[in-house]
């Protein structure tokens, strides 16, 4: 069958593109290497999700923090992509964040509004002191702070900061669907009861009612091109090893910041006019968690509290670096089993016991788009498909921005009652973006302003890989808005 569009990847980039294309009446096939999430008790079991292999995908080789050798890193693979595990924080970039992009905030604004509506984001317009201009209020109001969030809120106010309700894509208020029960197994876990507005619960289902076809467990191996046109997509079934070929008039690659450049490189698209940028300038924010240890239990009710955000320091370093500094946000304490697992052997029980006395703040700092931070091709997997291989190092400016936030997060935790604090680096690629990159010319990036691969007539990349810079906010809402922004150009293409 000839589709109007074949999409690889069911995360934010793929699912939002699929919705807009099916709404326009196109026949769309969405391919995903993962399987549907189980939605059973195992989804809330920290051993199975945070330590285990429940949805473990194929390894990616990673060399970082000055290491000489590559080590394997695994990511979850499911229908819905990282959205299934995400925390739901849904912030817009600020106009200044887009200065090095080939588009402006005004180009994105209407699509942010639609993305917030589709994700049913709960927030309070204007509560963020750096709130960018918006043409509509949030679809729903935030809920009240729970007691752990209130503790941080009050401490921050004492210090003169202006913490506000983190805009969230969780279902707190629509009682026609399962409502959030305010549990503590949200960020990092699939939602057992489907109260997270991820990309299984809302957007693709809407697209399926309009004809979207989804095939899970299918790995895209290689795009085959004739000159400037992709002709077909070679795939393999992740369980049986059976080979398939899919054909469409348009091809959309949205495999995430590590897998998208790998697929393009496997397809020889490093030779397109902007092809030398494919895999380059991988970003992931320079993140750290600051843990405060308190004298009393911080969350005896085990309630949800990823509710607060601070942008007070967002532009403090803009003049020096031309970037945002970043944001500070509430984040849950990992489960006792996870803390024990990572503690040194003789200290495991004590570390586990202390879990109940911890409270954390997440510092999300903007990182630079460095050419040497890159995805190349590594070892072939069992199907002969070369996996991504990642080289990543932060620069001094990344650490400076992060440490600036860490110092302020520490102070908030101390004023809230922490008797000691510790800082943990985040070494995952959960906020991976930018490895293909939009730019005004092929000399500056692999994609044009509509996320079309320079030099190709029917190939687009509308996922996190398309980012030109990372900004200081979580990426998902911008991926969604940007995908909605570029779909009219896909539809208008005479394919
Ligand atoms: C624990 C966690 C918490 C997070 N919390 C937040 C948050 O609160 N707010 C926020 O904004 N962001 C958050 N993020 C980040 C956010 O989830 C990601 O930025 C976003 O989901 C990325 O979307 P994407 O479409 O670029 O890629 P992905 O979500 O990675 O989707 C790509 C999909 O493509 C599939 N795929 C890849 N290669 C192939 C192939 N060759 N063939 C077939 N399928 C393929 C993958 O399996 C995957 O499903 C979080 C991430 C994690 C992991």
Q: What is the DSSP string of 51-119?
A: IS-TTB---EEEEETT-SS-EEE--B-BTTGGGGTS--B--PPPGGGGTTSSS-HHHHHHHHHHHHHHT
Centroid of ligand 1 to alpha carbon of 52 (angstroms): 19
Find tokens 């970043």 and name the residue.
Answer: 326
Q: Whose CA is nearest to atom 2 of ligand 1?
A: 86
Determine if ligand 1 sits within 6 Å of the CB of residue 11.
yes
| Separation CA 278–CA 175 (nearest Å) | 44
Determine if ligand 1 sits within 6 Å of the CB of residue 330.
no
Q: In this structure, are residues 116 and 462 in contact, taking their beta carbons and an 8 Å threshold?
A: no
| Distance of alpha carbon 376 from the chain centroid | 20
Q: Whose CA is nearest to atom 37 of ligand 1?
A: 255
**DSSP tag of 47:** I
305-to-2, 150, 329 alpha-carbon distances in Å:
47, 9, 10
Determine if ligand 1 sits within 6 Å of the CB of residue 236.
no
Centroid of ligand 1 to alpha carbon of 56 (angstroms): 14
Probe residue for ligand 1, chosen from 255, 338, 388, 463 as the CB with the greatest number of ligand atoms within 8 Å: 255
Find tokens 């788009």 and name the residue.
Answer: 369
Output the tens digit of pLDDT for each of the chain's 495 residues.
899 999 999 999 999 999 999 999 999 999 999 999 999 999 999 989 988 779 999 999 999 999 999 999 999 999 999 999 999 999 999 999 999 999 999 999 999 999 999 999 999 999 999 999 999 999 999 999 999 999 999 999 999 999 999 999 999 999 999 999 999 899 999 999 999 999 997 898 899 999 999 999 999 999 999 999 999 999 999 999 999 999 999 999 999 999 999 999 999 999 999 999 999 999 999 999 999 999 999 999 999 999 999 999 999 999 999 999 999 999 999 889 889 988 888 999 999 999 999 999 999 999 999 999 999 999 999 999 999 999 999 999 999 999 999 999 999 999 999 999 999 999 899 999 999 999 999 999 999 999 999 999 999 999 999 999 999 999 999 999 999 999 999 999 976
Nearest to 214 by CA among 488, 462, 2, 9: 9
């Amino acid at each position: 069958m000839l589709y109007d569009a074949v999409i690889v990847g069911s995360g934010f980039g793929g699912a939002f593109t699929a919705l807009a294309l099916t709404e326009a009446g196109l026949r769309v096939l969405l391919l995903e290497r993962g399987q549907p999430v189980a939605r059973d008790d195992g989804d809330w079991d920290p051993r199975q999700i945070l330590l285990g292999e429940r949805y473990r995908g194929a390894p990616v080789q990673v060399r970082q923090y000055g290491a000489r050798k590559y080590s394997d890193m695994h990511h979850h693979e499911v229908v819905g992509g990282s959205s299934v595990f995400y925390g739901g924080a849904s912030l817009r970039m600020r106009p200044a964040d887009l200065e090095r992009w080939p588009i402006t905030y005004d180009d994105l604004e209407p699509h942010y509004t639609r993305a917030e509506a589709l994700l049913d984001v709960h927030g309070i317009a204007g509560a963020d002191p750096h709130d960018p201009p918006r043409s509509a209020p949030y679809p729903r109001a935030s809920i009240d702070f729970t007691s752990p969030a209130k503790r941080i809120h009050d401490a921050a106010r004492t210090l003169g900061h202006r913490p506000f309700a983190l805009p969230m894509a969780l279902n707190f208020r629509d009682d026609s669907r399962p409502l959030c029960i305010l549990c503590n197994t949200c960020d990092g876990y699939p939602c057992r009861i489907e109260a997270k507005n991820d990309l299984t619960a809302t957007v693709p289902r809407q697209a399926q009612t309009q004809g979207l076809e989804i095939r899970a467990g299918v790995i895209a191996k290689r795009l085959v091109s004739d000159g400037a046109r992709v002709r077909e997509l070679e795939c393999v079934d992740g369980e049986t090893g059976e080979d398939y070929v899919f054909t469409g008039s348009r091809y959309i690659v949205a495999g995430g910041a590590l897998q998208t450049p790998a697929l393009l490189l496997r397809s020889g698209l490093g030779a397109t006019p902007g092809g030398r940028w494919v895999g380059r300038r991988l970003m992931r924010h320079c993140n750290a968690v600051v843990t405060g240890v308190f004298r009393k239990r911080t969350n005896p009710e085990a309630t949800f509290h990823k509710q607060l955000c601070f942008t007070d320091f967002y532009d403090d370093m803009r003049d020096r670096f031309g970037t945002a500094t970043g944001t500070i946000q509430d984040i849950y304490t990992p489960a006792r089993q996870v803390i024990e697992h990572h503690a040194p052997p003789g200290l495991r029980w004590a570390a586990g016991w202390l879990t109940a006395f911890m409270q954390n703040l997440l510092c999300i700092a903007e990182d630079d788009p460095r050419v040497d931070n890159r995805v190349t091709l590594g070892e072939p997997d069992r199907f002969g498909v070369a996996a991504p291989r990642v080289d990543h190092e932060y620069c001094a400016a990344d650490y400076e921005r992060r440490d600036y936030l860490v110092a302020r997060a520490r102070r908030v935790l101390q004023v809230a009652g922490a008797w000691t604090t510790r800082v943990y680096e985040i070494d995952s690629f959960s906020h991976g973006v930018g490895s293909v990159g939009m730019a005004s010319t092929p000399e500056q990036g692999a994609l044009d302003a509509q996320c079309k691969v320079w030099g190709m007539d029917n190939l687009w990349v509308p996922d996190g890989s398309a980012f030109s810079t990372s900004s200081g906010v979580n990426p998902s809402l911008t991926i969604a808005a940007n995908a909605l922004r570029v779909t009219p150009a896909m539809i208008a293409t005479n394919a």
